[in-house]
Amino acid sequence: MDTHGIQMKAAQVFKKLGVTEEDLRTKVHVRFATHNRTTAIATTKFSVRRDVNDQPVYEVQFLFSTLLWPKDANQENTIVHEVCHAVNDLRWKEQGKPGFPQGHGMEWRAIMIEAGVTNPQRCGLLK
């Protein structure tokens, strides 16, 4: 799957999970990038900054391994998995909770089920 396909799938999952196009234009900024590491197929980085009106702006960066991504037989599932991490972080911060949620904890699992995944699991390593 190419970058455009990744972006389209991510947008579908965000929408299914209640993150609107308006949110993606104004308060949730998403970037896609690559790396050459072999530790994971994909990872998500999440941070929060304040805009000029002191409103939160959420920065999400999805990183895909240029070495492992082409070998991933479940690319769509990997995208859903990573978007669910971003939505988990977003909801956590919107609820005013400190820090970040557990990466593959019960909140993340619930969001995966909400996204349509029947058996949420850690992924990112090729078998």
On whether residue 126 sits in a domain, the answer given is no
Identity of residue 40: A
**Nearest residue to 83 (alpha-carbon basis) of 56, 108, 57:** 108
On whether residue 120 sits in a domain, the answer given is no
Per-residue H/E/C for the chain: CCHHHHHHHHHHHHHHCCCCHHHHHHCEEEEEEEECCCCCCEEEEEEEEECCCCCEEEEEEEEEECCCHHHCCCHHHHHHHHHHHHHHHHHHHHCCCCCCCCCCCHHHHHHHHHCCCCCCCCCCCCC
**Cβ atoms 78, 123 nearer than 8 A:** yes
pLDDT in tens, 60-86: 999 999 989 999 988 999 999 999 999
pLDDT in tens, 9-40: 999 999 999 999 899 888 899 999 888 887 78
Distance CA 60, CA 50 (A): 14
Query: Which residue range is the domain that position 47 belongs to?
Result: 3-114
Q: Rg of the chain over CA atoms, in angstroms? A: 14
| Those residues with Cβ within 8 angstroms of residue 69's Cβ, 6 or more apart along the chain or in another chain | 34, 41, 42, 75
On whether residue 119 sits in a domain, the answer given is no
On whether residue 122 sits in a domain, the answer given is no
On whether residue 124 sits in a domain, the answer given is no
pTM: predicted TM-score of the whole model, two decimal places: 0.89
Strands 42-50 and 28-35: unpaired
Indicate the range of 28-32, 43-47, 110-114, 118-122 predicted with least confidence.
Answer: 118-122
Our count of domains for the chain comes to 1
Mean pLDDT of the chain: 89
Q: What is the mean pLDDT of residues 48-57?
A: 90
Which CATH number is 58's domain given? 3.30.2010
pLDDT bucket at 125, cuts 50 / 70 / 90: low
Does residue 91 carry a pLDDT above 90? yes
